[in-house]
Amino acid sequence: MAVATPGAAPPVGERFPDLDLPDHTGRARSLSEVAGGDPLALVFARGWWCPKEQRYLRELAGLQDEFEVAYARIAVVSVDPPEVQAAFRAGLGARFVFLSDADRRWLPRLGLLEQADEIHHPYRPTAFSLFPDLTVHAAWAGDWYWGRPTMEELRLAMRDISRAVRSDWDLD
């Protein structure tokens, strides 16, 4: 599995900050609450306007049926305001949570500013697989579309984490 640790975001093996952000309905959320004791796929996206994000998140919405029967979670963070995220989420048919950093409160602390976009000042497209306690299992830098985790890589990441945290995983 290709692993790249981006910017100043925590490297593999370290704890991801417990982001506190409003969700797509405007309700205050924390990342640990969103994880809810399960493995988490955390995706940072540029925003609704980006055709790459539209394509990638549609793919991710196709994976949500598996996540929900496999006791794992998905969260997407972008700089879109909650009401825009709510519309985007509805259009995608997504049932997972979107977190809004419209105030760019966490963006500089995570070192994930997309330098090339001087209009939107969005997140770099990055993705992390996290253990339930938010320890980073793997990270992907997705500036180039092919750098993003494929759905199969996300499945394998969730399998790795679930194997590690579910005490009754093995046959014996």
Interaction site with another protein (CB under 8 A) = 23-27, 29, 33-34, 36-38, 64, 67-69, 71-75, 86, 90, 93-97, 166
Give the residue from 145, 127, 146 showing the smallest Cα distance to 137. Answer: 127
Instruction: Write down the least CB distance from residue 113 to another protein, Å.
Output: 25
Nearer to another protein, 3 or 86 (CB): 86
Minimum CB distance to another protein, residue 70 (Å): 9
Q: Which is nearer to another protein, 91 or 108 (CB)?
A: 91
Which CB, 65 or 103, lies closer to another protein?
65
DSSP output for 53-93: HHHHHHHHHHHHHHHHHTT-EEEEEESS-HHHHHHHHHHHT
CB of 146 to another protein, least distance (A): 26
Q: Smallest distance, Å, CB 69 to another protein?
A: 5
Residue 139 C-beta: closest distance to another protein, Å: 22
CB 160 within 8 Å of CB 152: no
